[in-house]
Amino acid sequence: MTVSKSFQWIEGHRPLILTTMLASLLSGPALASEKVLDTLQMHGFLSQALVITDDNNFFGPSSEDGGSLKYTEIGANVSLRPHENVLVAAQVLSRRAGGDGDDAKPVLDYGVIDYQMVSNQDRTFGIQLGRSKNPFGFYNQTRDVAFTRPSILLPQSIYFDRTRSLALSGDGIAAYMEERIPSGTLRAQLGFGVPQAGDDLSSTLRLDTVPGSLDPRASAIGQIKYEHQGGRFVAAVSAADANARFESGSPLLSNGDFYFRPWIVSLQYNEENWSLTAEYAWRNSGLENFDNDNVNFDVTGESWYVQYARRFNESWQWLLRYDSLTSNRDDRDGKAFEASGAGPAHSQYADDITLGLQWNANPRLMLAAEYHHVDGTGWLPIQDNPDPSETQRRWNMLLFQLSLRF
């Protein structure tokens, strides 16, 4: 999440540190109070979806009756420039995605103080303190704003909704730069801090059945991106080293550690009326240092998708995508996983064919629909499907969404 002096609304707690930094910056020449108020920006958005599946559940009881309405996103953000080189911005998000609705309580999505030390025609360099969105692939930093997504659901093989808290944001410090060269623009961002480790991660790791807490530890994430000829061709490489510590509250299990080390290569080609996008992810993750070897694991998975989007009649877009997830490269079909008694083979992969349609009725209103045909259940939310043995390997899903912004 990088910003320039001309971009005052970010789409993307250490209060003492943030306050100290802001006070030191304001000790220099500040903008006049009336000019500061002129920089104030406030925006919001609302999305409501209907999810219908023939088998399995996604974001609520989608396979029952008329489907599920338990996919709602509501957000409000504000930004202000108290100094010409300083941007203060924050967003509060309420998001319900299945479950019992407890996760719909408003939370701080991001909250940063952004200080640009260099900003001219050739380059930009700055730092951010606070909670910032992680530079993870093409879409992670704006994934909660429907108008910035190419489809209702992002490719689930890379942008997991079942463990979104880990990839979404982190608390700490980030440095970013932008270098403008004759052929295009080179951007880079590097952040250090602690990630979010929500209940979704504990549930996916099956640690929610053991008394204790999963607490984030020091982590790092970075991205290098190149945009050629104003964005006609875009390439990026993202990498992270995310860590968490499980403090056990049970004498039957010791403390242990979780790690997640992904690499993502992202490519996109854009023409006036169409875009071709592909991303590949290599993911190493595991649990270690537990005294129970049945809990410890180390696995490397991979994900990739190819997506074609076509714009027509000014306000319409259709999309075709193939999305593939493999949880374990050494057990691609999941047969060894099933033979061990851990669960069905189809829970270890997912191949998704998606067809989508979007209509931007006006700049503030968007209607969207999409169809998914899925082989495998590798990215199904566990809270909606607590017993993997009852899930079906092949299933279909329809989604309809109305989105507003102001």
CATH number of the domain where residue 398 is located:
2.40.160.10
Cβ atoms of 16 and 129 within 8 Å: the answer is no
pLDDT at 15 over 60: no
Half-sphere exposure of 85 (CA within 13 A, CB side): 19
pLDDT at 299 over 80: yes
Quick: pLDDT tens for 47-88. 999 999 999 999 999 999 889 999 999 999 999 999 889 999
Long-range pairs, 345-349, Cβ under 8 A, ≥24: 346/375, 346/376, 346/377, 346/378, 346/391, 346/393, 347/376, 347/377, 347/378, 347/380, 347/388, 347/391, 348/376, 348/378, 349/324, 349/325, 349/375, 349/376, 349/378
Q: Which pLDDT score is estimated for 31? A: 55
Quick: pLDDT tens for 151-210. 999 999 999 887 777 778 889 999 999 999 999 999 999 999 998 876 777 777 778 788
pLDDT level of residue 100 (50, 70, 90 thresholds): low
Quick: pLDDT tens for 368-398. 999 999 999 999 988 899 899 999 999 999 9
pLDDT level of residue 102 (50, 70, 90 thresholds): low
Look up residue 301 and give its two tokens. 């998975």
Cβ atoms of 220 and 192 within 8 Å: the answer is yes
Cβ atoms of 89 and 10 within 8 Å: the answer is yes
**Could you say which DSSP state residue 137 is in?**
T
- Prediction pTM value: 0.87
Q: Which pLDDT score is estimated for 212? A: 86
Cβ atoms of 168 and 133 within 8 Å: the answer is yes
* Sign, Cα dihedral of 326, 329, 333, 336: negative
- E strand or H helix at 175: strand 169-181
Cα separation, 242 vs 185, in Å, equals 28
Cβ atoms of 186 and 226 within 8 Å: the answer is yes
**Parent domain of 390:** 15-405
Cβ atoms of 45 and 404 within 8 Å: the answer is yes
Indicate whether 160 belongs to any domain. Answer: yes
Cα separation, 367 vs 387, in Å, equals 34
Indicate whether 42 belongs to any domain. Answer: yes
pLDDT at 19 over 50: no
Indicate whether 2 belongs to any domain. Answer: no
In the chain, the number of structural domains is 1
DSSP β-ladder status, 316-326 and 41-53? unpaired
pLDDT at 101 over 90: no
Q: Which pLDDT score is estimated for 32? A: 64
Listed residue (263, 277, 264) closest to 233, CA to CA: 277
Look up residue 328 and give its two tokens. 């374990």
**Could you say which DSSP state residue 353 is in?**
E
Quick: pLDDT tens for 20-42. 444 444 444 455 677 878 889 99
Is the model more confident about 178 or about 143? Answer: 178
pLDDT level of residue 150 (50, 70, 90 thresholds): very high
Cα separation, 140 vs 261, in Å, equals 16
- E strand or H helix at 158: none
Indicate whether 10 belongs to any domain. Answer: no
Provide the b/e sequence for 39-66 (b: ≥16 CB within 10 Å).
beeebebbbbbbbbbebbbbbbbbbeee
Terminal CA-CA length for the chain: 21
Q: Which pLDDT score is estimated for 161? A: 83
Indicate whether 63 belongs to any domain. Answer: yes
Cα separation, 174 vs 111, in Å, equals 13
- Give the Cα-Cα-Cα angle 178, 179, 183 (nearest 5 degrees): 125
pLDDT level of residue 295 (50, 70, 90 thresholds): confident
Indicate whether 95 belongs to any domain. Answer: yes
Q: Which pLDDT score is estimated for 390? A: 94
Listed residue (186, 204, 189, 194) closest to 168, CA to CA: 194
Look up residue 5 and give its two tokens. 């002096």
pLDDT level of residue 5 (50, 70, 90 thresholds): very low
3-state secondary structure of 232: coil
pLDDT at 2 over 80: no
Residue with structure tokens 């970013």?
Answer: 176
pLDDT level of residue 293 (50, 70, 90 thresholds): confident
Give every CB contact of residue 328 below 8 A, 6+ residues apart in sequence: 299, 300, 301, 334, 337, 348
Look up residue 32 and give its two tokens. 């006049």
Cα separation, 115 vs 131, in Å, equals 14
9-13, 108-112, 292-296: range with lowest mean pLDDT: 9-13
Q: Which pLDDT score is estimated for 13? A: 37
